Amino acid sequence: MNNIRKTARSLKWPIACACSIAALKITFILSEPLRSLVMSPWLIDDSFIVMRVARNIALGKGFSFDGMNPTTGVSFLWTYVTAISHSVFSKEFAVKATLMLSTVLGACSSIVVYSITKRLSEHSQASWLAFAIISLLPVPFFNAMNGMETAAVTLFMLSAIACLPQLYSNDSPPTFVSGISCGILLGLAVLTRSDAIFFVASMLLFCLVQAVRSGHQKYDYFRQGVGIVLALGVAASILITWQVLQTGSVFPDNQIGRHIIAVDKHNFDVSHVSLVSYIRIVIWNTFEMYALVSLSFTSGLLAIIALLYGFGQKNLRPLAVITGMYLAMYCTVLIAYQWYFPDYHGLRYLNPGIHLLVILIACLLCSLRFDTFTTRALIAITCSMMAISWYAYFDYGRQPKWAEGMTLFGSRSSEDENKFWAGIDWVQTHLPENTVIGVRDHGRFSLFTDRPVLDLAGILDPMVVRQWKAGNIGKYVRERDVSYFVLPPPQTKGTNIYQSLHNSLTLSEVKECPAFDMSGTFRLYKIH
């Protein structure tokens, strides 16, 4: 109890600062009109896919996007958590409540970053510097309020690290209790986002290496490892059992659809592999990944230097080893994954790694021997990082490479917003509630029209792209009672599935319905 009070006292100021920043964000969320808020550039359509599933849970339609077919294509734990707000509040306020919850969890992550840094660094300024960087860098700043599972999985990972006593001192023996605590948090991370398994692997590998090298403490490390594995095993069993009961598969729904759509976009067919095409895609996406890291820290080189610095410092080596193994595994798998899925957008995927690297960056900067103007120099460096990173964020965000030709809502002008909402209002006013509509970026559309949607991206309904590849898309959409589509005109260059729908079905444009974007690319079509 005394330790808890002592810890609380030491964190009172960072808690106060984190609460202040979160309060400003929440004030913005509450004051901004909903229609403008949901079109914010940092909110991708995936955020609203999750909210739609959560709303269906609240309405008693099960863990389903369309209210009929079970899915495993969104986060297990986060979707059930957000379903609570949809059960209690109106749809409009439930959307804001989800964003506010994400914001609060992001604030908690910044406090954990402060706590870890304070325990690791010999310099008193390092903890505040880490807190300032992670609170104000644009990527984690907006990831903390994107309404998705990003903030939750980041908090669970950071808290799991904070539970390891050997991270801070060789004199602190690992215990079964610390293993259980760490395992529960890692299990929650996996239940929140399944690719947290790479972080789990890095943690277990670290503990194994420590056990081998510990000598007389082998038994302590063994007990800790047993605790981690037991708690983690329960979480993994829950997730796998749930996925099998939902869809009959241990793998999430979204992988099949993403694979086929991405392969189509890149004209890359694994059935007759073009090695040149594959290498080109891998090289491009590797540089794209470095760009993401650079965007997050102003300089990707700074993050690499900080990681190498951590390897060379006794007090930082455990954290650097875990971080290095996690990022190496995760980035290697992402690059290798291009064979199956030659496309990704990783800003939010790298969010936990950003937090870990920021701790090392802060320790590195505070270790530098400045003159008597140390404090002012640190402030100047931090402010420069913020300014350049914010500029890079918005410069990059204007035309994200991964979104070209992929999204209905790539632009965020007020004219685009008005066009989109005019289309939504027309659908709500003129089409019956049970009208099934086929659309690609289906999160916002489904949530705010309250109409059942056929997912043309195959993220939550992989059968769509399976039937398309088999040449049966026309038959399938009729079986699903689809009456309308949101598509570009037949002469518009786009993905092959759009063209296939125009060729296999008799479609007529509903001219009374406004276009869903300023260019008029996406229009409403009726099946005859």
By the 10 Å C-beta count (0-12 exposed, 13-18 middle, 19+ buried), 178 is classed as buried
Residue 262 — pLDDT band, cuts 50, 70, 90? low
How far CA 278 is from CA of 274, 285, 291, in Å, comes to: 6, 11, 20
User: What was the pLDDT predicted at 327?
Assistant: 87
- Pick the more confident residue, 339 or 314: 314
User: What was the pLDDT predicted at 242?
Assistant: 94
Q: What is the pTM of this model?
A: 0.88
Angle value at C-alpha 376, between 373 and 379, nearest 5 degrees:
150
Q: How far apart are CA 65 and CA 50, in angstroms?
A: 8
Residue 252 — pLDDT band, cuts 50, 70, 90? confident
Q: How far apart are CA 396 and CA 292, in angstroms?
A: 9
Residue 212 — pLDDT band, cuts 50, 70, 90? confident
Residues recorded for the chain? 528
Instruction: Give the CATH fold of the 414-527 domain.
Output: D-Maltodextrin-Binding Protein; domain 2 (3.40.190)
For residue 272, the 8-state DSSP code is: G
Residue 325 — pLDDT band, cuts 50, 70, 90? very high
Q: How far is CA 506 from the centre of its chain?
A: 38
Element holding 438 (H helix, E strand): strand 436-439
The ranges assigned to domains in the chain are: 30-402, 414-527
Q: How far apart are CA 212 and CA 441, in angstroms?
A: 50
User: What was the pLDDT predicted at 410?
Assistant: 42
Q: Is the pLDDT of residue 401 over 50?
A: no
Cβ–Cβ under 8 Å, residues 152 and 394: no
Q: Is the pLDDT of residue 2 over 70?
A: no
Cβ–Cβ under 8 Å, residues 463 and 476: yes
Cβ–Cβ under 8 Å, residues 247 and 72: yes
- Pick the more confident residue, 462 or 134: 134
Token pair of 378, please? Answer: 């640190």
Q: How far apart are CA 59 and CA 147, in angstroms?
A: 20
User: What was the pLDDT predicted at 98?
Assistant: 97
Q: How far apart are CA 183 and CA 204, in angstroms?
A: 10
User: What was the pLDDT predicted at 371?
Assistant: 58
Residue with tokens 């304070």: 118
For 481, the 3-state DSSP assignment is: coil
Residue with tokens 């907006």: 142
Range with lowest mean pLDDT among 79-83, 239-243, 388-392, 456-460: 388-392
- Pick the more confident residue, 71 or 289: 71
The tens digit of pLDDT for each residue in 482-513 reads 999 998 888 766 567 788 888 888 999 999 99
Element holding 415 (H helix, E strand): helix 414-430
Residue 411 — pLDDT band, cuts 50, 70, 90? very low
How far CA 334 is from CA of 191, 288, 340, 435, in Å, comes to: 20, 12, 10, 38
Question: How many Å from the N-terminal Cα to the C-terminal Cα in the chain?
Answer: 71
Q: Is the pLDDT of residue 134 over 80?
A: yes
Handedness of CA 380, 382, 384, 390 (dihedral sign): negative
Residue 27 — pLDDT band, cuts 50, 70, 90? very high
Range with lowest mean pLDDT among 10-24, 43-57, 160-174: 160-174
Range with lowest mean pLDDT among 142-146, 181-185, 297-301: 297-301
**Buried b / exposed e across 28-66, counting CB within 10 Å, b at 16+?**
ebeeeeeeebbbbebbbbbbbbbbbbbbbbbeeeebbbb
User: What was the pLDDT predicted at 493?
Assistant: 61
Percent of the chain with pLDDT over 90: 40
- Pick the more confident residue, 417 or 192: 192
Q: What is the mean pLDDT of residues 391-416?
A: 49
Cβ–Cβ under 8 Å, residues 505 and 474: yes
- Pick the more confident residue, 406 or 224: 224
For residue 341, the 8-state DSSP code is: -
CB atoms within 10 A of CB 506: 10
Cβ–Cβ under 8 Å, residues 49 and 443: yes
Cβ–Cβ under 8 Å, residues 356 and 295: no
How far CA 2 is from CA of 6, 9, 34, 116, in Å, comes to: 6, 11, 45, 19
Closest C-alpha to 281, from 358, 237, 344: 344
Q: How far apart are CA 256 and CA 90, in angstroms?
A: 34
Q: How far apart are CA 148 and CA 150, in angstroms?
A: 5
User: What was the pLDDT predicted at 137?
Assistant: 81
Residue 254 — pLDDT band, cuts 50, 70, 90? low
For 482, the 3-state DSSP assignment is: strand
User: What was the pLDDT predicted at 183?
Assistant: 93
Percent of the chain with pLDDT over 70: 75
Q: How far apart are CA 452 and CA 461, in angstroms?
A: 13
Average pLDDT for the chain: 81
